Structure 1
Amino acid sequence: MTLSLPSFKNKTVRTLLTATAIAMLLQTAAVPAAGIASAAPAADIKVTSASSTAIYKSFQTKLYKKNGLPEADRYLESKIKQVTPYHATLMVMQLENARYKALTAIEDRMLVPNVQDQMLKIYKWNDSFTQMMSRTKDSALRSLLQQARDSGYRLIPIEGSLYPIMNYAAFEKYTSYVNKDIKQYIRIMAVETNHISTEDGGLMIGYQDMLNRALNQEQFLNDYPNSNRKQKIQMLLNEYTLYTFYGLDNTPLFDYDTNIMDANAQKGYKAVLQRSSSKDSAFLKKLDAFMDVVSESKFEKTEAVEKWLEENVPVNEYSNYE
């Protein structure tokens, strides 16, 4: 069975770009207080429930103003040591939600043809918004680039166009103050946005890296089954499961002509299975069983392999259809 689904193509990038992004599960009205005591405020700052609540309300006022993301971020950075772990976690997740919500508007402004033309003329590989700002004399474009940077986005090229995406590295300054699950969530998402896994239907990372990311996602779900960001990570793991067992349109796991499994995938899968043989992982157990089946078929995609895939990794079960 060849995975060739328009809605599957480039799913990870689309997940990172889309403003809905599972609607982020909330407007973060309730976050469990349990398990966040480890993110204690600085010892030399007296934090009370009343003072923390006052900062939280002030943050919300700034966050929900028009174009308020940069101000809200600066305010949160200056005040996060003065709030309870509960409010710190709440505000960081609300900041993430607001950035997702505002992303579509920034993206639409950047994808206007004449704006894209201007950007592409001055863009150099791996440029940041700051680097591009220094290279343009157009005040309107400079203002747009600055707003995107200060609102918490970074720039990536996708299929010949330049897109803003979430910059999860910008959240790392808050990880010492938030719930453990949100700290780990930010780290997982920073890996995704710092090094995009797919582009134009092709895999952009190595096979071992792909599996290690999936294992980190699985570990998150095991460690934090009640996390507010559980659904987001589950969607990510679903995508990586399909990448692992089917490949992508332009990086198929089995060659379209010979039906033979990619040699680098064989080596990468075997290496990870050997290195992680003692790890208790449902994902690895499934991968190990898969490798047994394809080994018996001499790494050819036979009917037996296709049947195993249909029974154990059905595409419709792992596709994040909207």
Structure 2
Amino acid sequence: MKLYKALLPLLMVLIMASCVKSPDLPKEQKESEGKYYTEFTSMIPEAKNPKELFSYIDQHAGDIPRDDFTKIIIAQINYQDSFLKTFEENYFSQSVQEILYNVLGNDTSKIENGALDIENKEVADLVKATYEYGYRIDMSEGMYFPILDYGVYKKYKEYLNEDALEFIEILSAESDKVPLKDAALVIPYEEVLNRAIRCESFLKKYPGFEGEKFISDLFEKYQAITFYGSNNTPLFDYGTKEMNEKAKEAYQSFVKSIGNENSEFKKNLRLFLEVLAKNGYKLTGEVDDFRDIKAPIKY
């Protein structure tokens, strides 16, 4: 009985605590959850271009819950990607290409926010629209064309969760400096490895992220570049079968570096170098077999 009396106050506290309901979310917050995403996605089928959807995002950015904001950004990127397939056809005419070449030559960096001194109104409007729609102009194999400019999403960083912010930073690096031009590698091998690691780390850190496929595709691309090279920058010389010397130096330095020891990519690269060393750093059947098993081309 004494023990029961001693425990009674504690039991009463626990009972009272269990009866206290968790505070309800403010009515406004409840109503906003999912509201903006639903509104945004309902606009997509009728949208004439990405600019219309950017206007909605800009107007409501400060009110949209962070999780919904991430979903909206991914939906907008998907829409831009889809819209680009039709929009880029505006660049395919010879007259547009000639006018752009007369203004740009081989230097697309002359363009800043679509501001160019182009006398032809049709082409001037096309360039302006390109940047308003969240694209930028790139050049490869003598052709100008629009690409998605992920950097435009950096202005929303204060509204993004950590995962979405890192997602945008990874993709922005891709559009700020594309890895390949004219099927040739135009970034250092060190950068290829760093981008691959960053993609792999993101996929491990944020499984199931809304825009996971974008990062997964990038990772596959950088694995392909790492283990195979590209058409005009092959990892192994087409004639001698010898490994690219710059790649060899970068890979050896990378596997010796501290960090990322749990990376499957780094482990496979270390094993790859061991196989290469046994084969005099030349492309042989054994080297090719290793790639088929550890780094099959998916990209």
Matched, 1:86 2:67: yes
CA pair 244-50 structure 1, distance change in 2 beyond 3 A? same
Question: One-letter code of the match for 1:172?
Answer: K
SS in 2 for 1:300: coil
Q: CA deviation at 1:157?
A: 0.5
Q: CA deviation at 1:209?
A: 0.5
Q: Structure 2 CA distance, aligned partners of 1:132 and 1:187?
A: 22
In the TM superposition, what are the counterparts of 1:261-280 in structure 2 within 5 Å?
Answer: 261-276=243-258, 279-280=261-262
In the TM superposition, what are the counterparts of 1:1-322 in structure 2 within 5 Å?
Answer: 48-51=29-32, 55-56=36-37, 59-60=40-41, 63-124=44-105, 125-127=107-109, 129-130=111-112, 133-276=115-258, 279-314=261-296, 318-320=297-299
CA RMSD between the two structures: 2.3
Q: CA deviation at 1:85?
A: 1.2
| Higher deviation after alignment, 194-203 or 151-160 | 194-203
Instruction: Decide which structure has greater helix share.
Output: 2
The question of whether the paired residues in 2 share the 8 Å contact of 1:129 and 1:148 is answered with no
Q: Structure 2 CA distance, aligned partners of 1:206 and 1:155?
A: 22
Decide which structure has the larger Cα Rg and report it.
2
SS in 1 for 2:209: coil
Q: CA deviation at 1:312?
A: 2.6
Question: One-letter code of the match for 1:252?
Answer: P
CA pair 278-117 structure 1, distance change in 2 beyond 3 A? closer
The question of whether the paired residues in 1 share the 8 Å contact of 2:33 and 2:65 is answered with yes
The question of whether the paired residues in 1 share the 8 Å contact of 2:114 and 2:131 is answered with no
Runs (5+) with no aligned partner, structure 2 = 1-26
CA pair 132-225 structure 1, distance change in 2 beyond 3 A? closer
* 1:190-239 CA-partner distances (Å, limit 9, x unpaired): 11111111122211111110011000010011111211222222222112
Q: Structure 2 CA distance, aligned partners of 1:204 and 1:98?
A: 28
Q: CA deviation at 1:59?
A: 4.2
Q: CA deviation at 1:53?
A: 5.3
Q: Structure 2 CA distance, aligned partners of 1:111 and 1:66?
A: 24
Q: Which has the higher contact order (CA 8 A, sep 6+)?
A: 1
